[in-house]
Structure 1
């Protein structure tokens, strides 16, 4: 399981939501018309429960960007097999994922590609409860217990951070139960992985207080959290115009959300009632994204000198190389893959509306 799935309580909510949201499987990529006219039916799958990573899709639907482009987009709950597998199997046309997940599935034989990379820098934070005074820096994680979902990727990241800070990189592990927060508070583990733009906001607004470390500060290279939109190689080959249409309408949604964070937050809360989101919390999450410029330089995007959604080929490749060197990639038989996947083969931004630089 890759790190973008390490949000256990949201995964649980998403799986429960699946029971309430019927997956319109027959609609996927079939070119069917909607009741309102000759709109192309398209299915977009969440990667976990709805949050601010998905917000541009909800904004694009709410603002009519998809309809203007001739699309009727169904936003559906994540399948139990995961969004990446659903896209690979043709169950969904598009989904939220990240390029690291694409690389992990690709070495196992999947044929998927990222076509828009929204997040341009790492948002992962590795934290202990602030009440745990024995942990003040990464090397203090040596010999401690990691609340994990069993990902080779996460192990490699934590080990590199500890070693960069002068530690050995040895730690115990325990599988997370219903949430990482609860696992730490129960005393079963000492530290775990979170995201500054979501759980970090939750901790600051509602607790518990955390002591956190970020990857770039402790030797982990490149962009680990290249969150964006994926589709299948098959859809790109058979209907590139549909891919272009969807991507550019979605791009408009994220651009609007980046410029109107508060309104976008309200739209997400309204359009995703099954997620039971607190509006003030979602607004603060958008504030963190905007202030931290996680989706790119806002001034350059507004001036048309930077493209929101462009693929960070260099940053993601640096991270892939690190994972390969750490033995984190395995094939479908569990064999370690030492050759790093190539980001240029697993992503394309040719479907984006490019900035007029």
Structure 2
């Protein structure tokens, strides 16, 4: 898993609970979060599949880590700028010029924030404070920073439950190419090549689990909670986040889950290359052409 159990993996636990992997002839073992990226765990041969995002898949391709996304779980990006709802002086991204940003250290996200502000008529100039994880949200809620970035789904719902709601700005609303798969399921290319039938069986069982979550979010959230008692998940947050994801972020152009928008993938790859945000093992910017078709496929879906 890319993190401790959360809504990103709901479909996996649903398919496991319903016996759909077993019916497909798949004996699935879910490994706990190890602190390593799923692509690294797969590269080490410790796993065949994992959940991750498009940028991780792109970087895996650059570094010749053989993985392919077979289920593009999230269709609409939910990552964006977050700030307290009562910050009345900020009504649009250009108002963020000169303010203080809790920076996670991601050059990609920083570039997206700057481009959003510029595309809204601002300069893209702001102060930064390096904070990560819960520290960024704590600093935001305490007024020590003016804005940060995060998932408007889980962090937005958490803020509402805590009585400190956020206002949000989405990158794609301001002509900034955003991650076409904030979350998706990848398989190792080695597994795909050796086991094409099992690849299809795994992918379609997984799709069935996420389709169930799409149409039955509260029941799916309950399955996630029951499958992970040691994760100490907040039941209300899990259910509200799942309802949000299922209502606005997971349905694809086929009306189900999993199908990738290859044009959105290619636009995102081109944006990262143009901004020199992709680097090879030597640290040099990647200039060779990269194709989304080498990184994600809809071939194994129903």
Q: Is contact 1:226-1:316 (8 Å) kept? A: no
Q: CA deviation at 1:209?
A: 2.0
Q: Specify the alignment match of 1:326 in structure 2.
A: 275
190 and 105 in structure 1: CA distance in 2 versus 1, 3 angstrom threshold: farther
Q: Specify the alignment match of 1:32 in structure 2.
A: none
Give unmatched runs, 5+ long, in structure 2: none
Q: Secondary structure at the match of 2:16?
A: helix
CA distance in 1: counterparts of 2:204 and 2:17, whole angstroms: 15
Q: CA deviation at 1:90?
A: 1.5
CA distance in 1: counterparts of 2:195 and 2:215, whole angstroms: 31
TM-score between the two structures when normalised by the length of structure 1 = 0.79
CA distance in 1: counterparts of 2:2 and 2:270, whole angstroms: 25
How big is the alpha-carbon RMSD for the aligned residues of Structure 1 and Structure 2? 1.9
Q: Specify the alignment match of 1:24 in structure 2.
A: none
Q: Is contact 2:90-2:96 (8 Å) kept? A: yes
Task: Write the deviation string for residues 213-236 of structure 1: whole angstroms up to 9, x where unpaired.
Answer: 111111213554342101111111
Q: Is contact 1:142-1:171 (8 Å) kept? A: yes
Q: Is contact 2:103-2:128 (8 Å) kept? A: yes
1:112-123 counterparts in 2 under 5 A? 112-123=67-78
CA distance in 1: counterparts of 2:164 and 2:225, whole angstroms: 24
Q: CA deviation at 1:319?
A: 1.4
Q: Specify the alignment match of 1:13 in structure 2.
A: none
Q: Secondary structure at the match of 2:27?
A: strand
Q: Secondary structure at the match of 2:91?
A: coil
How many residue pairs get matched?
301
Q: Specify the alignment match of 2:23 in structure 1.
A: 68
Task: Write the deviation string for residues 250-278 of structure 1: whole angstroms up to 9, x where unpaired.
Answer: 11111111111111011001001222122
CA distance in 2: counterparts of 1:148 and 1:224, whole angstroms: 22
Q: Is contact 2:78-2:182 (8 Å) kept? A: no
Greater shift in the superposed pair: 253-262 or 77-86: 77-86
Q: CA deviation at 1:196?
A: 2.2
CA distance in 1: counterparts of 2:230 and 2:88, whole angstroms: 38
1:259-278 counterparts in 2 under 5 A? 259-278=215-234
TM-score between the two structures when normalised by the length of structure 2 = 0.92
CA distance in 1: counterparts of 2:116 and 2:8, whole angstroms: 25
CA distance in 1: counterparts of 2:50 and 2:187, whole angstroms: 7
**1:312 pairs with one of 261, 264, 268:** 261
More RCO (CA 8 Å, sep 6+): 2
194 and 316 in structure 1: CA distance in 2 versus 1, 3 angstrom threshold: same
**2:84 pairs with one of 129, 132, 135:** 129
Q: Specify the alignment match of 1:110 in structure 2.
A: 65
**2:236 pairs with one of 280, 296, 307:** 280
**2:187 pairs with one of 231, 237, 242:** 231
CA distance in 1: counterparts of 2:133 and 2:69, whole angstroms: 30
Q: Does 1:256 align with 2:205?
A: no
Give unmatched runs, 5+ long, in structure 1: 1-45, 302-306
Q: Does 1:54 align with 2:5?
A: no
